[in-house]
């Protein structure tokens, strides 16, 4: 696999893999020819589904051109030929259930992409928050009661069937859906016992392109083909010491509040030569549940007169360390250097990196990036955050601090 730039890897997984999971209905064919019933109000949640659960998928995507050259119009009947080449990328999609109850599921999705051709070192590309309920969330989980109510059936270009399915040497009883459309196909495989997605695969052909014909004149050629594969790799519970406590929101957090963090971004290659680039991120609380918060985040880094902006929806609750708040009683018992959790698939770890009388610092650390969060020990509130990421020879560091209440 050829090495890809970080930005392209992020876009590749963010748009090709996550899009396939997040933008399709829970079963691709739902609403077309499958009656997927709702779960009964008193239907219990599966035993694995609890605050702190983490589900990990391997995701890979490649786009290959169907023609050697595409023509770009220059006007006046003139065209510029461009050689076409393929791109590919892979990594992990992790979903942390930061809050689970009969009323709501709050899930933090993380895209971790390989930054090297040898597929050895992962780096964080993006986080995204999602809300669901006991019927399901995204395409990653559907209540088993709903799957049990789906009948086997088939038609022209589609089928639904139950069958044993083997993945990584383990055998599962599964519900398999397959749907063919004009530009490709989509297949989903769900484990009947847990309701969790086992496998998703799809192909999509892009829009036709202009390409040189046999005599050199422009002719219409087929578009590029994108192939996406998502395989479940693990289900486990995070080892966070505050799990199991009452999942109550802090009294100081209110719907409509905004939390602004300001600071700067530095590049190690320009250290001592250029001042930090001004940076900020604002969290606006849009919804508060019994034990979770849902927020809109807006970030800005100013590179001279060219600001770079980003936005995302996020969720916060007990099933994560990346939160605006944590249980202060649990934080008080942590010691500097203590490792809280290690992920066997990604090699990321969560540890306490330091503390004093007023604050404590926790970090999520990977091979090429880390996020350090500083919390107030009395209130459990996030006060500071520092993001570090290795990009080739450069170390990019962003340091932000909570501004006074707005």
**Quick check: 12 pLDDT over 80?**
no
Distance CA 179, CA 187 (A): 6
Dump pLDDT digits (tens) for 107-160. Answer: 999 999 998 877 889 999 999 999 999 999 999 999 999 999 898 988 888 899
Return the higher-pLDDT residue of 24 and 69. Answer: 69
Q: Which of 357, 353, 358 is nearest to 386 (CA)?
A: 353
Buried b (16+ CB within 10 A) or exposed e, 97-108: bbbbbeebbbbb
Question: Which of 245-249, 278-282, 322-326, 332-336 shows the lowest per-residue confidence on average (mean pLDDT)?
Answer: 245-249
List the domain boundaries for the chain: 6-237, 258-402
pLDDT the model gives residue 55: 98
pLDDT the model gives residue 406: 57
| CATH architecture of residue range(s) 258-402 | Beta Barrel (2.40)
pLDDT the model gives residue 143: 96
Contact 318, 291 (CB under 8 A): yes
Mean pLDDT of the chain, nearest integer = 88
Can you list the alpha helix ranges (DSSP code H) found in 86-199? 144-148
**Helix, strand, coil tally for the chain in percent (to 5):** 5, 55, 40
String of DSSP letters for 266-322: EEGGGTTTSPPEEEEEEEEEEEE-SSEEEEEEEEEEEETTEEEEEEEEEEEETT-SS
Dump pLDDT digits (tens) for 322-380. Answer: 999 999 999 999 999 999 999 999 999 999 999 999 999 999 999 999 999 999 999 99
Tokens standing for residue 79: 């065209």
In sequence order, the β-bridge partners of residue 155 are: 158
């Amino acid at each position: 696999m050829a090495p890809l730039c970080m930005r392209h890897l992020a876009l590749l997984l963010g748009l090709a893999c996550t899009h396939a999971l997040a933008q399709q209905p829970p079963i691709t064919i739902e609403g077309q020819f499958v009656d997927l019933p709702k779960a009964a109000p008193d239907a219990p949640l599966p035993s694995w589904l609890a605050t702190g659960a983490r589900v990990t998928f391997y995701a890979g995507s490649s786009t290959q051109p169907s023609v050697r050259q595409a023509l770009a119009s220059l006007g006046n009947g003139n065209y510029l030929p461009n050689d076409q080449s393929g791109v590919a990328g892979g990594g992990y999609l992790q979903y942390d259930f930061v809050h689970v109850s009969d009323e709501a599921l709050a899930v933090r999705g993380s895209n971790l992409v390989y930054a090297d051709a040898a597929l050895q070192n992962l780096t964080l590309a993006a986080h995204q928050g999602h809300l669901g309920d006991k019927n399901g969330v995204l395409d990653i989980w559907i209540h088993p009661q709903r799957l049990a109510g789906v009948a086997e059936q088939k038609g022209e270009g589609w089928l639904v069937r139950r069958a044993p399915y083997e993945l990584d040497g383990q055998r599962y009883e599964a519900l398999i859906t397959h749907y063919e459309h004009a530009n490709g196909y989509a297949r989903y495989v769900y484990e009947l016992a847990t309701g969790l997605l086992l496998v998703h695969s799809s192909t999509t052909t892009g829009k036709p392109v202009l390409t040189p014909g046999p005599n050199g004149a422009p002719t219409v050629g087929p578009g590029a083909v994108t192939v996406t594969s998502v395989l479940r790799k693990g289900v486990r519970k995070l080892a966070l010491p505050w799990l199991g406590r009452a999942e109550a929101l802090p009294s100081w957090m209110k719907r409509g509040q905004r939390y602004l963090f300001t600071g700067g971004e530095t590049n190690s290659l320009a250290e001592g030569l250029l001042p930090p680039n001004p940076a900020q991120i604002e969290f606006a609380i849009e919804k508060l549940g019994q034990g979770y918060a849902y927020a809109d985040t807006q970030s800005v880094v100013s590179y001279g007169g060219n600001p770079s902006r980003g936005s995302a929806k996020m969720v916060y609750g007990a099933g994560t360390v990346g939160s605006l708040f944590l249980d202060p009683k649990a934080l008080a018992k942590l010691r500097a250097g203590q490792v809280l959790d290690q992920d066997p698939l990604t090699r990321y770890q969560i540890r306490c990196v330091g503390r004093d009388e007023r604050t404590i610092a926790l970090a999520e650390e990977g091979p090429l990036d880390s996020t350090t969060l500083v919390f107030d020990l009395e209130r459990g509130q996030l006060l500071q955050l520092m993001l570090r990421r290795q990009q080739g020879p450069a170390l990019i560091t962003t340091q932000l601090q909570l501004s006074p209440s707005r």
